[in-house]
Amino acid sequence: MREIEFDVVVKAVRDIIVHCGTDLPKDTYEALEEAMNNEASPVSKEVIRQILENANIAKNEKRPLCQDTGLAVFFVNVGDEVKIKGGLLRDAINKGTEQGYTDAYLRASTCEPFSRANLKDTLGYNLPAIIHFDIVAGDKIDIEYAAKGGGSENVSRARVFPPAAGKEGIMNYVKEVISDAGGNPCPPITVGVGIGGTFEKACISSKHALFRDIGSVHPNPEMAEMEAEMMTLINNLGIGAMGMGGTKTALAVHIESNPCHIASLPVSVNVQCHSSRHTHITI
């Protein structure tokens, strides 16, 4: 068994949150540069120029990229030969989240569902984090992190189709969700599509798909082709940057597909804004 100190996890989580809050990842930045260079609309081109200028200011002056600094979402693969010394792994991730959001002057955005009371003074600053755990072989902890804003989450949708809907049904559904969303999720967006599994498995897969680096190619050629087809369908909608009209509505479409029940074809569409703040560390 490998023992990892509780505080080591806290510090690692704190550090990635501080970094992601102000420093747009390289894959996102480069995809935006490419989008700006290829955008046909001068209005949308100017919007993307502002987005890149914003990223430069945020990085150089250590200011939050966006005032919506998101809920902290984690996918954590825990090696079966790891033991956390001095506390629970969940508590360490939450403590690191609170420290990171406080230290970097990020916003506390968690609230009680109906009273809308902010939870920073009761549960903790921007707590609880949303954590998806899995157990894997080995003696390491693998942590994927993304800051997930509300505007893009609000346009996300899931539906369980009958199997006969097939690929065409899914393509039309993704197009419909993004068309209805318009400029609300802050395009140019990343679109995560979870296919198969059960209802909740499709949703979690669509979230995890957003953690993949923009510009990476799906290892399954059939899925890679479907992603490219969806990109074309979405960019043909003409929504453009911030919905102002243009040719670059999506930076990427990422699919995660799972085996499913013989009676069902679940699909979930989760959207990430242009400020795709995500990273990955191994402890």
Binding window for another protein (CB under 8 A); candidates: 9-17, 140-148, 230-238, 253-261: 230-238
Min dist CB 163 to another protein, Å, is 25
* Measured distance CA(151)–CA(29) in Å, rounded: 20
Q: Is 157 in the site for another protein (CB under 8 A)?
A: no
Q: Which of 12, 20, 31, 68 binds another protein (CB under 8 A)?
A: 68
Q: Is 238 in the site for another protein (CB under 8 A)?
A: yes
Min dist CB 120 to another protein, Å, is 7
Q: Is 87 in the site for another protein (CB under 8 A)?
A: no
Q: Which of 96, 192, 243, 266 binds another protein (CB under 8 A)?
A: 243
* Measured distance CA(241)–CA(186) in Å, rounded: 7
Min dist CB 226 to another protein, Å, is 17
Min dist CB 236 to another protein, Å, is 4
Q: Is 201 in the site for another protein (CB under 8 A)?
A: no
Go through 8-32 and write b for each residue having 16 or more CB atoms within 10 A of its CB, e for each that does not.
bbbbbbbbbbbbbbbbbbebbbebb
Min dist CB 201 to another protein, Å, is 28
One character per residue 102-141, x = contact with another protein (rule: CB under 8 A) = ---xxxxx------x-x-x---------------------
Q: Which of 1, 61, 113, 137 binds another protein (CB under 8 A)?
A: 61
Q: Is 47 in the site for another protein (CB under 8 A)?
A: yes
Nearer to another protein, 102 or 198 (CB): 102
Tokens of 136: 């894997």
Q: Is 14 in the site for another protein (CB under 8 A)?
A: no
- Region 158-187 residues binding another protein, contact defined as CB under 8 A: 182-184, 186
- Catalog residues that contact another protein under the rule CB under 8 A: 22, 40-41, 43-44, 47, 50-51, 53-54, 57-58, 61-69, 105-109, 116, 118, 120, 150-151, 154, 182-184, 186, 236-240, 242-247, 273-275
